[in-house]
Structure 1
Amino acid sequence: MYISPFQNLQKSTMSFEEVFHHILEFMELNPKGKFKLMVGTDSQVHKFHTIFITGIVIQQEGNGVWACIRKVLIPRKMTHLHERISYELSLTEEIVSLFTEDRKNQLINIVLPNIYEGAAFTMEGHIDIGAGKRNKTREFVKEMVARMESIGVEPKIKPNAFVASSYANRYTK
């Protein structure tokens, strides 16, 4: 198994501490903003390995984003859909767990003085599954949503899970 450091277009190697610092800085630019911190993972099976990309996105409604990814490479083809979806969620849960109560409070404290002026902070877990009739992952929705809720994060599935299904997806190829 290979786990890369966090990275984005500006910086190829970041620790989680650096990622958290970037999120703090982004939010401090406008403490009156409405912020969503979103974490999600997608995967792609290749000939000899499976790539998992976890995206972290901090979005200020109507005013841009800061984002980064982390890559995990498993040296085998993971062909069972449930195993892959479950592992995607485990990687998302791992990143979410790095946002300890203390760290979440630091983020909340940025917007707290401005909540009566519309400032907000929410955290979402984006799961690359859908409930549609033709979606192969629909049978896993209850299980995966319950896992996300159990760690105190608002779950989002397709079509609202864009960090997993769109942002992370583009790096799995």
Structure 2
Amino acid sequence: MKNKYVFDQTFQNLSQKHMSFEQVFRYIVQFMEKDPTGSFKLMFGTDSQVHATHTKFITGIVIQQERKGVWACFRKVIVPRKMKNLHERISFETTLTEEVVSMFNKEEKDRLFHIVLPHILKGASFSIEGHIDIGSGKRNKTSIFVKEMISRMNSIGLEAKIKPYSFVASSYANRFTK
């Protein structure tokens, strides 16, 4: 039986290909340890693009130190059909984000929190966000899915962000779906 989806279990960015999750986690730790007094956001988001014979999904991971820089990578999933149903596509984007977030187990999340913990009184902070490529505007076709997708992000412990604040999904991941 042929695989229904093509999951690339590795991550990449503009300078590296075929990174394992363990490598990605090490890069995030190194990024945060450079200046543990910073304000950090670990953000996840997925976007998709329907092509002639398939639908491409890109899930981004971005660690940002406010006003200091970012490190980012992404994972690609190909569905070998045109996924035209908007709810199905948005729901699958959210599922792929949830899957990547689930790679960060409790010990790994605790390790990231403990990098900044000794520096909280100096202004250090750490938060985790789930970026969803949907908007709540009246003219936005995805607005009917906002409550559902925000609830899904919140249920796994993420602060949900939608357009125009969901740049990991709507900007970073979007660049690689073309």
TM norm structure 1: 0.99
Match of 2:119 among 91, 114, 119: 114
Match of 2:23 among 8, 18, 30: 18
Q: Which residue of 2 aligns with 1:169?
A: 174
Deviations 1:29-69 (A, max 9, x none): 00000000000000000000000000000000000000001
Q: Residue type matched to 2:108 in 1? A: R
Deviations 1:113-150 (A, max 9, x none): 00000000000000000000110000000000001111
Match of 1:2 among 2, 6, 16: 6
Aligned 1:59-98 pairs, distance under 5 A: 59-98=64-103
Q: Residue type matched to 1:79 in 2? A: K
Q: Matched residue pairs, number?
A: 173
Deviations 1:79-116 (A, max 9, x none): 00000000000000001111111101000000000000
CA distance in 1, matches of 2:133, 2:22: 26
CA distance in 1, matches of 2:36, 2:81: 45
CA distance in 2, matches of 1:31, 1:15: 24
CA distance in 1, matches of 2:151, 2:89: 17
* SS, match of residue 163 in structure 2: coil
Q: Which residue of 2 aligns with 1:45?
A: 50
Q: Which residue of 2 aligns with 1:134?
A: 139
Q: Residue type matched to 1:82 in 2? A: H
CA distance in 1, matches of 2:7, 2:35: 33
CA distance in 1, matches of 2:84, 2:54: 10
1:158 matches 2:163? yes
Q: Which runs of 4+ in 1 moved over 4 A?
A: none
Deviations 1:146-165 (A, max 9, x none): 01111111000000000000
Q: Residue type matched to 1:123 in 2? A: I
Q: Residue type matched to 1:2 in 2? A: V
CA distance in 2, matches of 1:10, 1:101: 29
Which ranges in structure 1 are unaligned for 5 or more consecutive residues?
none
* SS, match of residue 56 in structure 2: strand
